[in-house]
Amino acid sequence: MSSEINLQRRHFFGLAAMTMAAVEFGLSSAAAAKAAAPAVKAGSHASFAAVKRIKAGELNVGYAEVGPANGAVVLLLHGWPYDIYSFVDVAPVLADAGYRVLIPYLRGHGTTEFISADTPRNGQQAAIATDIIAFMDALKVERAVIGGYDWGGRTADILAAIWPERCKALVSVSGYLIGSQEANKKPLSPEAELSWWYQFYFATERGREGYAANTHDFAKLIWKLASPQWDFDDATFDRSAKAFENPDHVAITIHNYRWRLGLVDGERKYDELEKRLAAFPVITVPTITMEGDANGAPHPNPSAYAKKFTGRYEHRTISGGIGHNLPQEAPQAFAQAVLDVDRF
């Protein structure tokens, strides 16, 4: 089912608005009243109360935690080049609904650091997904509703596909993002290849040096290209740009994109997991996929991945000039999706 939501028109106020939402999403008005997220405007919140740290696998993971300690867990995963502040407006909405919201910095971002200097600075998809399982284990989280976009969306998809017992339900921006080196060997159309310009830049030593020298400006350019209608201010970007000062950020970024093209090896310990991912496993847990109507980053058409979700499934396209960083640009729509999918 597709749902068009214009966040520039704040219709979700009061009982009448909940009834409208019920019609739009195919719910009864009673169910909508129970599940409707309160109105939240993008940019309403500027910080988390605190960022914690915990040893998990190969990492000391920095993470934000919002909401009651005994609440059902929602795990939110950010993308590149972004950080935990993508969810700064989403988290309070979910916390007010009684959820314990956990938002970790991915490896190479923010306050997440490697425990050992000898650990390979590996950005392959299996390594990042394994990090999140270790993070859940460290916090003794058996099961969570998991949501994400970009790198975080891919990671959320992997967790739902490979460890469905750990994923109660899924919200994935841009849908099914699991990849493989073999699939990435296939050339795309010239227009599609153009949209991946930075991947090819990173494949060169000039690109690695350029990203290291100009990380702040490079990331800001990606934000503008990926969300061409998002009028973010310097303070919003600079708050997240601090996450790119992580000492391993450049190494993880470059390895991630080079690994995708088969230009560098991953770690042998992930070979079996990558083999399973290369078979593009279906996702059986309840899922809502989302897409912004103004996403300027490479992304698949929803029709291309709908059949990869074999449990209860719904797709929502969010209108109003929403780009790639959907949770930060459209926090109410993302929070609503989390609330709804948990009730599937």
Could you report the per-residue pLDDT of 87-117, keeping only the tens digit for each? 999 999 999 999 999 999 999 999 999 999 9
Over 80: is that where the pLDDT of 162 sits? yes
Give the confidence band of 3 by pLDDT, cuts at 50, 70, 90: very low
For the segment 201-214, the average pLDDT, to the nearest whole number, is 98
Which pTM value belongs to this model?
A: 0.90
Q: Residues of 2-26 as b/e, b for ≥16 C-beta within 10 angstroms?
A: ebebebeeeebeeeeebbebbeebe
For the segment 12-27, the average pLDDT, to the nearest whole number, is 36
Mean pLDDT of the chain: 91
* Predicted pLDDT of residue 188: 94
Over 50: is that where the pLDDT of 242 sits? yes
* Predicted pLDDT of residue 29: 34
Give the confidence band of 27 by pLDDT, cuts at 50, 70, 90: very low
* Predicted pLDDT of residue 38: 83
For the segment 73-100, the average pLDDT, to the nearest whole number, is 98
The DSSP line for 250-261 is: HHHHHHHHHHHT
Query: What is the rounded distance in angstroms from the CA atom of residue 336 to the CA atom of residue 323?
Result: 18
- CB count, 10 Å around CB of 82? 28
* Predicted pLDDT of residue 209: 98
For the segment 211-234, the average pLDDT, to the nearest whole number, is 98
343: left (phi over 0), alpha (psi -120 to 50) or beta: alpha
Give the confidence band of 66 by pLDDT, cuts at 50, 70, 90: very high
Give the confidence band of 283 by pLDDT, cuts at 50, 70, 90: very high
Give the confidence band of 326 by pLDDT, cuts at 50, 70, 90: very high
* Predicted pLDDT of residue 32: 39
Question: What percent of the chain has pLDDT above 90?
Answer: 88
Query: What is the rounded distance in angstroms from the CA atom of residue 136 to the CA atom of residue 41?
Result: 30
Q: Give just the sign of the alpha carbon dihedral 243, 249, 252, 253.
A: positive
* Predicted pLDDT of residue 255: 98
Could you give the angle at which helices 151-162 and 271-278 cross, rounded to 10 degrees? Answer: 90
Give the confidence band of 167 by pLDDT, cuts at 50, 70, 90: very high
Over 80: is that where the pLDDT of 20 sits? no
As given in the structure block, the two tokens for residue 333 are 């729509």
* Predicted pLDDT of residue 181: 96
Query: What is the rounded distance in angstroms from the CA atom of residue 203 to the CA atom of residue 60?
Result: 28
For the segment 312-332, the average pLDDT, to the nearest whole number, is 98
For the segment 151-171, the average pLDDT, to the nearest whole number, is 98
Over 70: is that where the pLDDT of 217 sits? yes
* Predicted pLDDT of residue 224: 98
